[in-house]
Each structure stands twice: as C-alpha cells, then as structure tokens.
Structure 1
Amino acid sequence: MDYFFLPLEQWMNEFVNGWFLPTFSGIFNVISEVFNIFISGVTDLLLMIPAELFTIILALIAWKVSGIGLSVFTIIGFLFIGSVDMWEGAMQTLAIIIVATLVSLVIGIPVGILSAMNDGVQRIVRPILDFMQTLPSFVYLIPAVLLFGLGGVPAVMATFIFAAPPAVRMTNLGIRSVPKEIIEASRAFGSTNKQLLYKVQIPLAIPSIMAGVNQTIMLSLSMAVVASMIGAPGLGASVLTAISQVNIGLGLVSGLGIVVLAIVLDRITQGIGKGK
C-alpha cells in the first residue's frame, strides 16, 4: 500500500531519541540506581543465608501451608539445585522474582481496588491491561534496555509490565464478587466505605487476590529466560548460554532448576490462598 504510508516508526524514534530520553534520562538513571541497590540487597541476603538453612526454612513453610508432600519435594528439589552447582543462579533468579513481584503487587493491588470501587477507573484500566497482556513479551525488552540499560533492573521492569495485570484483574474480580447481601448487611450495621473495604470486601477477596499473586509470580518466573537476553543474571542466563553453545546438559540442569522454583512457589502461594 504505497499510496498510504504511515511513518510511525520514524515518528516514534524521533520522539524517543529527540525529546523523551534527553528530558527524562536523569529520572530513569535515579530509578535504575535505586532498583539496582534493592536487587543487589535481596540477592546478597539470599546468598548470605546458608543453603541448608534456606532449604529447611522453605521446607517448613511448604509443610505449614501445603503439607508434607511439598515439603519433601522442596528438600529434594533444592538439594538438586545445590548438587548441580546452580544455587547462586537460583538465588539470583529468585531475587529478581521477589523484586518484580513486590513491584507488581504494590502497584497492581491498589489499582485493582480502585477499579473495583469505580467503574470509570475500570474502563480506563481494562484496555491498558489488555495491551500489556497481548503485547509479545520480547517487545518489553526494547524500552527496558533503552531506559535502564542491561542487567537486573531492566529485567525487573520488563517483568513488572508482563506480570502485573493478573494482580490487578484478580483483585478487581475478588472485590466485585463479594455477595451483595453481605455488603448490604455491613452497611445496615453502620459500616463506612473504608470499614466495608478493609473489614469485609478485602478479607473475603483474599483467595482471589492470592490467585492473582500466584499468577504474578508464575509470569515473573516465565520471564526469567526471556530477561536473560538483556543481561538478567540467574538460571535464565544459564539457559541462554546453553542455547548459544548447544549444551544439552547445561540446558537440562538450569531448566530443571527453574521447574523446581516454579513448583515450590506455585504450591506455597496456592496453599496461602486456600488458608491451609
């Protein structure tokens, strides 16, 4: 269609390189430094804890929230990670997941609450979430690298964009699913809007909110390999190295390490959501 050419690519590049980056680069540098300190701190903390002690603590948590089966799997799985010399990579990956999940929840849950309380906010937020969830994950890497360089920080930012929508949607769904009879009864007893939200709606929406937390963690973990393309450390970097070297053994052990993390985190968050 030569008769109708829209130079959107050129316009976007001129906007970003000609105005956006020169104007806001200082702000993004500060954000990058803050998150880099945060990520490094979490990583150092995880690596400082002896592997045996960390495994025992996580196994006890798994036993408490999900039962003896997951506890045994946690012990075996983390023993495997340590035995194949992937402990440091697993902790680096876990640090990125923790930071990205915290950012997603700190922003996503309040936005979900606002969406549930206000139909106008929901009409604005919903197409944004649709855009965030349908855009290919690789596309997130471009602005992340452009704004934050290479390393763990752009990985966290790209992961946040990819993983935040479930937290927003499930929080919104959980609050809106509270039975109207309970809301009417609470109002009849004189509850204010604030009391209704914090003492009735949010507690009853906890299973749905935790389902959103679970999905956020799983999506964060699924970005581990993708984010390794922009310098994110951890098991994803080992998978990327295995691909570039066609190293089947390295790909197997790093991939199994990601599987162990995924199963343990998934079952623990599911157990918390069910109130076990």
Structure 2
Amino acid sequence: MNADLFRFSPGAYLAPVVDWLNTNFHPFFDAVTKFIEAVLGGIEAVLLYPPAYAVILVVVLLAAFLINLRVSIVAAVALIFCFLTGLWIASMQTLALVTVAVIISVAIAFPLGVIASRYRKFEAAIRPVLDIMQTVPPWVYLIPAVMIFSLGRVPAIIATIVYGVPPMLRLTTLAFKQVPKDLLELGQATGAPPRAILFKIEIPSATPTLLVGLNQCILLSLAMVVLAGLVGAGGLGAEVTRGLTRMEMGLGLRAGLAIVAVAILLDRLSKGALQGCRNLGV
C-alpha cells in the first residue's frame, strides 16, 4: 500500500493560493507595502533625525508633564541604556516597527473584542481561529508573509500583527464582559446613548484588563523582533541574529538587553497614557 496516500501536505494546497494572490492582488499588496514603509519611514525619521540626547530629553519631558515623574525616569533610563550600548539606531528602528505593529493590532483586536463580548455566536466562531493563531509557531507566519511581500520590514510587521492580535482580542472580550451590569443599567436608565455608555462607562471600567491585553500585545510583538531580523527587518532583531551567527555573546547580550529596555519603555508609556486618558475621562 502506498503510504503517500495517507500523508497530508497543506503546502500543496496553500502554495497555489499564494501564487494566485500574488498574480491577482499584486497592486493591492504593493500599495500595502508602500503605505507601511511610508509610515515606518516617517516614524524613524522623527526618531533618528534629531540627536539622541534631544529625543531623550523630549520623551522625558513629555512623560513628566503628561504622565508622571516615575514614568519619565524609567523612560530616561531605558533610552540612555539604548544609547550607551551603541545600538541607538537599531533601537529606534525596533521602536518604530513595534509601535506600528501594536497600533494596527489594537485597531483590529479592540473592535472585534467589543463585538465578541456582545455576541456569543461571534465569539464562538472566532475562538478556534484565535487558538490556531496563538498555537502555530510564529515562524510559520513569516513564510506566507515573505512569499507575498518579499523580504523586509513589511512581512515582519504582518507576522507580528497576526501574533499580537489574539491576546488583545481575548482580553478585550473579557474586559467588557466584566463590566458591572448595574453600571450599564444605570447608563441606560439615564437615557445615555450607546456611544456614551461605551466611552463613559464600559471603557473606563474595562481599562485595567485592557492594559493587561496591551501589555501582552507589546511583549509578544517584541518577541517577534528577533525573528523579524531573519527576514531583513533590521533593528535589534538583526543585531541578535548577527551575534548568533558570529557567536558574539557580547553583541547578542547587548541587543537582548536593549530589547528589554524598549519593552519597558513602551509598557510604561502606554500604561501611563491610558491611565491619564482614563483620569481625564477621555
């Protein structure tokens, strides 16, 4: 009996699909590539054009005035560390890449999470998809992304988004389910429209859990940075890869610690900004 009859090869079915997408939707993928590259280029230009000390000073002052002194100190330590390690340019490239990936991930996950919290059938339908997205190794996401968008930063961002959406979506759904029913009934009893209930009652009540989801999204996005370096995304991931291929422990350690510094910076700034918006009632 031929054993090949009992073998399942998904690549044999997916490869023609990818080829068909490349043939028929190339203008669309090209437009997506140009848009993401333009956004990344703009953010990198803002971060890299001024001297490093100017960027550090501006971030520290903004954090002190808009959030609090503790966050500004953390931001100063993280950015100064990235500068002193000699990886300032790579750190800013990574910061831009992760910022874009997290913003897009949250923009996708937040509305879907709100819908899932309101409609159980929709939640049940997307749950298996989220399970697959979180279970499949992140290497797998890079393969079709590279096949469609070629090497560079765009496939890295696409793979990062796929990896970062599930935790944010799940925790958004949980956050809105945990909103006290009496608060919702109070808002409805006062005649508040659904938009006002969402922004004035639900989001403020759900903020603590939403912060956890944002934190997980940031951390998972940074976890993809090293893999992104393998497909030409640059940044700190490329430095880690270079240290691995050259067996340079010092370079790999410096790049790894710089990734930790960027993670702490993004985590503290995002938490502080959301808490500030919550306190202002935005």
**Same fold at TM > 0.5:** yes
Kindly state the Cα deviation for residue 274 of structure 1 after the two structures are TM-superposed: 5.0
Preserved contact between residue 113 and residue 175 of structure 1 (Cα < 8 Å): yes
Equivalent position amino acid for 2:11 in 1: E
Equivalent position amino acid for 1:137 in 2: P
Equivalent position amino acid for 2:169 in 1: V
Kindly state the Cα deviation for residue 177 of structure 1 after the two structures are TM-superposed: 0.7
1:12 matched to 2:18? The reply is no
Gaps of 5+ in 2: none
Gaps of 5+ in 1: none
The CA distance in 1 between the partners of 2:216 and 2:9, in whole Å, is 38
TM-score (norm 2): 0.89
The CA distance in 2 between the partners of 1:79 and 1:191, in whole Å, is 48
Q: Which deviations, in whole Å up to 9, do the C-alpha atoms of 1:139-161 show, x marking residues without a partner?
A: 11101101111111111111110
1:46 matched to 2:8? The reply is no
Kindly state the Cα deviation for residue 273 of structure 1 after the two structures are TM-superposed: 5.0
1:151-170 aligned at under 5 Å gives the runs 151-170=152-171
Instruction: Give the match's secondary structure for 1:108.
Output: helix
Counterpart position of 1:261: 262
Give the alignment's Cα RMSD to 1 decimal. 2.1
1:114-125 aligned at under 5 Å gives the runs 114-125=115-126
Instruction: Give the match's secondary structure for 2:130.
Output: helix
Counterpart position of 1:147: 148
Equivalent position amino acid for 1:207 in 2: P
The CA distance in 1 between the partners of 2:253 and 2:18, in whole Å, is 40
* Percent identity for Structure 1 against Structure 2: 36
Preserved contact between residue 40 and residue 96 of structure 2 (Cα < 8 Å): yes
Counterpart position of 2:102: 101
Q: Alpha carbons of 1:187 and 1:243: their partners in 2 closer, same or farther (altered >3 Å)?
A: same
Q: Which deviations, in whole Å up to 9, do the C-alpha atoms of 1:220-264 show, x marking residues without a partner?
A: 111111111111111110110111111112112211211111122
Q: Which deviations, in whole Å up to 9, do the C-alpha atoms of 1:151-178 show, x marking residues without a partner?
A: 1111111111011112211221111111
Kindly state the Cα deviation for residue 137 of structure 1 after the two structures are TM-superposed: 0.8
The CA distance in 1 between the partners of 2:119 and 2:196, in whole Å, is 17
1:167-178 aligned at under 5 Å gives the runs 167-178=168-179
The CA distance in 1 between the partners of 2:159 and 2:150, in whole Å, is 12
Q: Alpha carbons of 1:192 and 1:74: their partners in 2 closer, same or farther (altered >3 Å)?
A: closer
Instruction: Give the match's secondary structure for 1:256.
Output: helix
1:127 matched to 2:150? The reply is no
The CA distance in 2 between the partners of 1:240 and 1:27, in whole Å, is 31
Counterpart position of 1:77: 78
Preserved contact between residue 134 and residue 166 of structure 2 (Cα < 8 Å): yes
Runs of 4+ in 1 over 6 A off after TM superposition: none
Counterpart position of 1:31: 32
Preserved contact between residue 90 and residue 234 of structure 2 (Cα < 8 Å): yes
Q: Which deviations, in whole Å up to 9, do the C-alpha atoms of 1:168-198 show, x marking residues without a partner?
A: 1122111111111111122222233333223
Deviates more, 1:131-140 or 1:119-128: 119-128
Preserved contact between residue 109 and residue 166 of structure 2 (Cα < 8 Å): yes
Instruction: Give the match's secondary structure for 1:173.
Output: helix
Kindly state the Cα deviation for residue 62 of structure 1 after the two structures are TM-superposed: 4.9
Equivalent position amino acid for 2:164 in 1: A
